[in-house]
Amino acid sequence: MRTGRDFPATDALDRATHAPTEGFERNLDLLVRTIIEDGAIPVLFGFVEAQEALLSRNRPDLQGREHAWKIGLKRNLAVMKHIAATRHLVYIDPDDFKVEDNWFLDNCHLNETGEAAKAAFVARAYFAHRP
């Protein structure tokens, strides 16, 4: 199986822009339905990532793919937002989380300070939006 690293960086933007999202949508919707059927109420919150200029700072494998990475994430977040709206769930927009550049260990994993700030943000957002 080929991964994103196996494709030239020049193909990354085309793939991020045009690759189908139906598989992600189908899998996420199945997960959401299963959670609901089990009696819980899911909350959708996409991951936070570094600003585009810093994506490859600690991830050299992303060099030349930074913009594509942002496009792909934006498309996945749109799917998440759509599922949340369709299923009447809370969607917490990661763009509303104000992150500090020095909190990132790589492109998306935060240090302890960043994780604490993210947890506090999610808690505030959840309680502000809960049904």
Q: Residue 19 belongs to a domain with what CATH number? A: 3.40.50.1110
Contact between 67 and 9 (Cβ < 8 Å): no
How many domains is the chain built from? Answer: 1
Task: Write a three-state SS string for 68-103.
Answer: HHHHHHHHHHHHHHHHHHHCCCEEECHHHCCCCHHH
Q: What is the pTM of this model?
A: 0.86
pLDDT of residue 47: 87
Alpha-carbon gap, residue 110 to 117, rounded angstroms? 10
Residue 129 pLDDT level (bands cut at 50, 70, 90): confident
pLDDT of residue 85: 97
Which residues constitute the domain of residue 86?
4-129
Q: Is 8 left (phi over 0), alpha (psi -120 to 50) or beta?
A: beta
Give CA angle at 122 (124, 106), nearest 5°. Answer: 145
How many CA atoms lie within 13 Å of 122's alpha carbon, on the beta-carbon side?
A: 14
Q: For the beta carbon of residue 115, count every other beta carbon within 10 angstroms.
A: 13
Cα Rg, the chain, nearest whole Å: 16
What average pLDDT does this structure show over 88-100? 95
What average pLDDT does this structure show over 85-112? 95
Statement: residue 2 has pLDDT above 70: no
